[in-house]
Amino acid sequence: MYRRRRLAALLVALVVVAGVIALLVWQPWRAAAVPTSPASPVGPSGSTSAPASPAASETPAATEPPASVPPAPSGSETDAAVAACSTSDITVLAVTDRESYGAGELPKLSITLSNDTDTPCLINVGTATQAFVISSGSDTWWRSTDCQSESSDQVVQLAAGQTVSSITPLEWDRTRSAVDTCATARPQARAGYFHLSVSIGGIEAADTRAFELR
């Protein structure tokens, strides 16, 4: 029994040695070692390096402008400058979102302006040129400019016959304003009738807008 085990072990060893010799002679991994193109170099964070920029002589071909871009006007068209809007050209209206407001409801104030002429004109409609004033009889209750912290200019061109309105209405908090009370508590307006007057771009509305606080 002992001799049989030694013989079996010897046979296994001979098989292993024969296999190693065959692999050394055959070397099957050489067939898989086909050269390939080098991988793109990888930079930090796994990003691939950008390819080299083209030579200066490789100027890209010019492209046509998008169809939505209008052609540049001719010299004769650019000579005609657009004039500023005058008081006689523009109609300005004071607008509120409602005619009557219940307790706690805040009036939303807007401006509408129209170009009444048959030619375009330029006007500054930025917050720096807007003014809202609320009064009750001869008593001025509130001015939008009293506590205005930021203002800006925005010159726009109004086409002939065009009418535009405020994008975002201004809310009145139903208090009395003054330049020295911007950071303090202010008196609340009582129930009654009030009037809104507005101006924009140096042009005042011809009429006021009446509304009621209940």
pLDDT, one tens digit per residue, over 146-167 is 999 888 999 999 999 999 999 9
What letter does residue 180 receive in the DSSP assignment? Answer: T
Residue 188 lies in a domain: yes
Asked if 109 and 187 sit in the same domain, the reply is yes
Residue 79 lies in a domain: no
Q: Are strands 192-200 and 203-204 parallel, antiparallel or unpaired?
A: antiparallel
Q: Give the model's pLDDT for residue 80.
A: 60
Query: pTM for this one?
Result: 0.62
| E strand or H helix that includes residue 210 | strand 209-213
Question: What sign has the CA pseudo-torsion 167, 172, 173, 176?
Answer: positive
Asked if 111 and 197 sit in the same domain, the reply is yes
Asked if 21 and 94 sit in the same domain, the reply is no
Query: What share of the chain in percent tops pLDDT 90?
Result: 59
Residue 61 lies in a domain: no
Nearest of 180, 182, 201, 196 to residue 114 by alpha carbon: 201
Residue 85 lies in a domain: no
Asked if 197 and 120 sit in the same domain, the reply is yes
Asked if 98 and 20 sit in the same domain, the reply is no
Q: What's the burial of 99, exposed, middle or buried (CB within 10 Å: 0-12/13-18/19+)?
A: exposed
Distance CA 156, CA 167 (A): 14
**CATH number of the domain that residue 138 is part of:** 2.60.40.10
Retrieve residue 75's tokens. 């010299």
Report CA-CA distances (Å) from 116 to 86, 96, 201: 11, 22, 16
Distance CA 58, CA 207 (A): 66
Q: Domain range spanning residue 136?
A: 90-213
Confidence of residue 141 (pLDDT cuts 50, 70, 90): very high
Structural domain total, the chain:
2
Of 40-44, 117-121, 134-138, which range is least confident? 40-44
